[in-house]
Amino acid sequence: SKATDYSKHKLLFEKHVDAVLLNKNLNLELQWDDRYKHCQEFYAEFKRRPLQKESYKGANIGAWIQSQIALKKKLLLPKNREQKLLLIDKNFFLEKHNEAWDKAFKLLQKFFKKYNRLPKEKEIFSKVKVGKWLINQRMLYNDGSLEEERANRLMALDKNVFISMHRKKWSDKCFLV
């Protein structure tokens, strides 16, 4: 009967979907294990955490590490993975980059105090590309990966910090009309 055929096809379809999902989960698990292995090797070879855009053996492990840290902050990183990452470095989840960020931010503050404006992209101040650093902070903000505390510190410096120069000029022109 048609009802029996429908039930058989539905059951076959459900089994197929289950197999696809299982295969996808297995692939994701293998991918995580592969990145973890690359991370272990990187730490063993260089004795440090990779930078955010740093790749190793064709894998962008810097970004992968940042994603693992972000997952932990959101309480979404499984405990077994957290423990594995701590085996690589007991300080794996500590923010080692805070010092560098704070140093760059202090330089931005000095620039702002001296010139009463934010730097343009190619501006260098005290031998540091503060304009490029600020552009990177804007990009992180726009893709939702800039930490809220950092975004707040930048906005405290200039409330329009995340408005692009093009939009700011346009709004200034509109204001004059």
Token pair of 69 as six digits: 């840290």
For the stretch 38-88, pLDDT in tens is 999 998 988 888 877 788 998 888 889 988 988 988 889 999 999 999 999
Token pair of 152 as six digits: 């707040």
For the stretch 75-123, pLDDT in tens is 899 999 999 999 998 878 876 656 678 888 999 999 999 999 999 989 9
For the stretch 4-19, pLDDT in tens is 766 766 666 666 556 6
Taking alpha carbons only, the member of 53, 57, 21 closest to residue 36 is 57
Which pLDDT band holds residue 177 (cuts at 50, 70, 90)? very low
Q: Name residues whose C-beta falls within 8 Å of residue 150's C-beta, 6 or more positions apart in sequence.
A: 101, 105, 137
DSSP notation for 84-137: HHHHH-TTTTS-TTHHHHHHHHHHHHHHHHHHSSPPPTT--BTTB-HHHHHHHH
Q: What is the pTM of this model?
A: 0.46
Mean pLDDT (the chain) is 81
Q: What is the DSSP letter of 157?
A: H
